[in-house]
Amino acid sequence: MANEASDADQVELFDTHCHLDITAFDPDRDAAIARARAVGVVHFVNPAYDLDSSRRAVALAQAHPGIAAAVGVHPNDAADFGEAHLAELRTLARAPQVVAIGEIGLDYYRQTTPRDRQVQAFVAQLALARELNLPVIIHCRDAYDDALALLREHGHGLPGLVMHAFSGRMEHLRAALAMGFYIGVGGPVTYPNAHGLRDVVKAVPPERIVIETDSPYLAPQSQRGRRNEPAYVLEVAQKIGQLRGTSMRDIARITTDNGRRLFRLN
Ligand SMILES: [Zn+2]
């Protein structure tokens, strides 16, 4: 393990998807950020799921160097999405710390928002991203066929796309890659039963893979059932390195470079 610790001293990691703004981090937000920095996390992207979290994400990014924000409305929070949402997102996105629109997409697993409302909010926010020339962070659960069809129709002209917490099948991976997507991989790749996801992770071209925690959700195996935090992106990188037969240092370098290119940092 001494070996891994010395690895960690030298790597630069990018947690491309963490919700540091939410209440789960109220007791120790700064400490959680410090723990992540201590294992090499140099960039964080904090996506939003509604207007309140969009405001919080921007404020957090303004207060912490290395943290960038995305603003957007999640499909599960899109029931009342309309012009007022678009107007505020447009205003918030003017902050230089905002690097993407997200997380947006479709979620047919939870049915809190009717599908037609999800589609309407998704398409409207894709148009907003194109108008603002911002990449998009896509959330997709049990809806890959519909999401990819909508993206084929409405996802052109965007400067970047990432499918976060990818959970689709190999055919969905091929379709997403053909559309120019980056593929976000997080804690689930460490779960013993994640055979399909591990096959996917081995098949993603190196220049298209990014890593994430989705903190406070989806903790990796060693922390499963507990609150996730950005420091654990190290465990994700280690697992991907094992699966792909690549050193942790190389995985860190590759995924951090990819994240910088996707979100146009540095
Ligand atoms: Zn998320």
pLDDT of residue 9: 56
CB-count burial class (<10 Å; 0-12, 13-18, 19+) for 170: exposed
Place of tokens 């992207």: 45
Phi, psi values for residue 210, rounded to 5°: -130, 160
Cα 220 to ligand 1 centroid, rounded to whole Å: 15
Give me ligand 1 centre to Cα 18, in Å.
7
Instruction: Using the mean position of ligand 1's atoms as its centre, give its distance from the Cα of residue 96 in Å.
Output: 21
φ, ψ for residue 11 (rounded to 5)? -85, 160
The pLDDT of residue 238 is above 60? yes
Whether residue 7 has pLDDT greater than 50: no
Please give the pLDDT value at position 1.
Answer: 44
CA of 221 to the centre of ligand 1 (A): 18
- If you average pLDDT over residues 71-80, what whole number do you get? 97
Query: What spacing in Å lies between the alpha carbon of 164 and ligand 1's midpoint?
Result: 8
Asked if residue 262 lies in contact with residue 135, where contact means CB atoms within 8 angstroms, the answer is yes
If you measure from the C-alpha of residue 88 to the centroid of ligand 1, how many angstroms do you get, rounded to a whole number? 20
pLDDT tens digits for 88-97? 999 999 999 9
Q: Ligand 1 mean position to 20 CA, how many Å?
A: 10
Torsional sign, CA 26, 28, 30, 34: negative
219, 182, 229, 221: which is closest to 204 by C-alpha? 182
User: pLDDT at residue 266 above 80?
Assistant: no
Rounded distance from Cα 75 to ligand 1 centre (Å): 11
Contacts of 178 (CB under 8 A, 6+ apart): none
262 CA → ligand 1 middle, Å = 17
DSSP code for 172: H
What is the Cα–Cα distance from 14 to 258, expressed in whole angstroms?
9
For residue range 39-67, list pLDDT tens digits in order. Answer: 999 999 999 999 999 999 999 999 999 99
Residues 2-263, CATH architecture? Alpha-Beta Barrel (3.20)
The rounded Å distance from CA 71 to ligand 1 centre is 12
Distance CA 124, CA 138 (A): 13
In the chain, where the domains are located: 2-263
Q: Give, as residue ranges, everything with CB less than 5 Å from ion ligand 1.
A: 214
Contacts of 55 (CB under 8 A, 6+ apart): 92
pLDDT band at 187 (very low <50, low <70, confident <90, very high): very high
Among the listed residues 4, 6, 45, the one whose alpha carbon sits nearest the alpha carbon of residue 239: 4
